[in-house]
């Protein structure tokens, strides 16, 4: 008798509390899931605005911010005709820029110039297609002035981020597309996947 009433009392306190915990946890779960979705949505949506701003850049020859409070602006379009993929690259490769598109690493060369132009993007959004790239694939890069340069993929490699072997002043006109590796990992790691290409004159 005493034992039963004890169980009743504790249940009356314990169950609503547990329910609250479950509801709060569910909210967190939703929020977290939403954040994940948001990262992808942002990456997709931004490209539409970037496309528009980049067209205007080509027309006017001046940098155009894709939205007024942006701290970066589109500088190039990268096309992979065989895969039907295209992406607008942004000035700089800060975390903020990479959320919206591939970043043109600041100290690297401009497309079509001597040296190495380096573009980096996330492996799960803009550069997810890099896993399907093959040697001899065509990569087209259109710069701010509207000029398009054709590059041919010469190879791929996996390197550590701090031993990239990329020399931005290397001889020839080179292009590197970089993303994180391995593609399917859930956590970020030190390895990077590089697609090396050189200009087709």
Partner 1 sequence: MNYLTLNRKHRSMPRWVGRSCRAIGLINILVLPLIALAAALFSALPARAEASAAQQSQLMTLDEVKSGSLLLKSSEPGRYVEATRVATDVDIVVSGPTARARITQIFTNPSNGWVEAVYAYPLPEDSAVHGLKMVVGKRVIVGNIKERQEAKAIYETAKAQGQKASLVEQERPNLFTNSVANIGPHEQVVVQIDFQEPIRLSSDIFSLRVPLVVAPRYNPAPLTQSADISANGIGWGSASDPVPDRDKITAPVLDPRLNAPVNPVSIKVRLQAGFALGEVKSRHHTVKTESLNDQTQVITLADNAHADRDFELTWTPKDSKAPAVGLFREHVGKDDFALAYITPPVIEQEKDIRPREIVFVIDNSGSMGGSSMDQAKASLDYALSRLKSADRFNVIRFDDTMDLLFNDTVSANSENTSKARAFVNNLQASGGTEMLEPLRAALNDPRPAEQSFIRQIVFLTDGAIGNEQQLLDAIAAKRGRSRVFMVGIGSAPNNYLMNRAAELGRGSFTSIGSGEEVNDRMRDLFAKLENPVVTNLVAKFSSGNADMTPATLPDLYRGEPLVIAAKLGAPSGTLTVKGMIGRQPWEMTVPLANAATGEGLSKLWARRKISDAEVESTLGTITTDEANKHILNLALEHGLVTRLTSLVAVDKTPSRDADKPLTRSDVPLNLPAGWDFDKVFGEQTLRKADMESSGVEQIAYSQKPVLVENAPAQLPLPQTATDAELRMLGGLLILLASAGLLLFNRKSGRNAS
Q: Which of 75, 89, 178, 195 binds partner 1 (CB under 8 A)?
A: 178
State the Cα–Cα distance between residues 136 and 133, nearest whole angstrom. Answer: 9
Q: C-alpha distances in angstroms, 188 versus 4, 20, 70, 124, 163?
A: 53, 34, 26, 11, 17
Q: Rule CB under 8 A: say whether 40 interacts with partner 1.
A: yes
Shortest spacing between CB 128 and partner 1, in angstroms: 11
State the Cα–Cα distance between residues 98 and 157, nearest whole angstrom. Answer: 21
Contact 125, 158 (CB under 8 A): no
**Burial degree of 50 (CB within 10 A; 0-12, 13-18, 19+):** buried
Q: Which is nearer to partner 1, 3 or 201 (CB)?
A: 3
Q: Which is nearer to partner 1, 29 or 81 (CB)?
A: 29
Tell me the window of 77-85, 131-139, 146-154, 180-188 that interacts with partner 1 (CB under 8 A).
Answer: 180-188
Q: Rule CB under 8 A: say whether 90 interacts with partner 1.
A: no
Tell me the window of 12-20, 79-87, 132-140, 147-155 that interacts with partner 1 (CB under 8 A).
Answer: 12-20
Q: Which of 6, 39, 132, 200 binds partner 1 (CB under 8 A)?
A: 39
Contact 119, 76 (CB under 8 A): yes
Q: Rule CB under 8 A: say whether 1 interacts with partner 1.
A: no
Q: Which of 47, 50, 53, 143 binds partner 1 (CB under 8 A)?
A: 53
Closest CA to 53 of 63, 66, 67: 66
Q: Which of 139, 180, 195, 197 binds partner 1 (CB under 8 A)?
A: 180
State the Cα–Cα distance between residues 61 and 68, nearest whole angstrom. Answer: 18
Q: Which of residues 112-151 bind partner 1 (CB under 8 A)?
A: 116, 118, 120-125, 127
Q: Which is nearer to partner 1, 136 or 187 (CB)?
A: 187
């Amino acid at each position: 008798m005493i034992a039963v009433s004890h169980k009743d009392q504790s249940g009356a306190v314990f169950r609503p509390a547990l329910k609250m915990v479950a509801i709060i946890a569910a909210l967190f779960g939703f929020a977290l899931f939403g954040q994940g979705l948001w990262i992808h949505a942002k990456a997709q949506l931004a490209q539409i605005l970037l496309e528009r701003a980049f067209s205007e850049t080509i027309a006017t020859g001046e940098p155009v911010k894709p939205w007024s409070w942006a701290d970066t602006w589109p500088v190039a379009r990268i096309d992979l005709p065989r895969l039907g993929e295209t992406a607008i690259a942004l000035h700089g490769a800060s975390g903020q820029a990479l959320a919206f598109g591939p970043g043109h690493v600041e100290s690297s060369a401009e497309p079509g110039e001597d040296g190495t132009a380096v573009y980096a993007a996330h492996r799960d959004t803009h550069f997810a297609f890099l896993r399907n790239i093959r040697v001899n694939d065509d990569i087209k890069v259109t710069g701010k002035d509207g000029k398009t340069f054709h590059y041919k993929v010469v190879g791929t490699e996996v390197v550590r981020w701090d031993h990239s072997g990329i020399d931005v002043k290397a001889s020839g006109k080179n292009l590197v597309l970089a993303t994180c590796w391995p593609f399917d990992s859930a956590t970020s790691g030190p390895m990077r996947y590089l697609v090396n290409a050189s200009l087709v004159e």
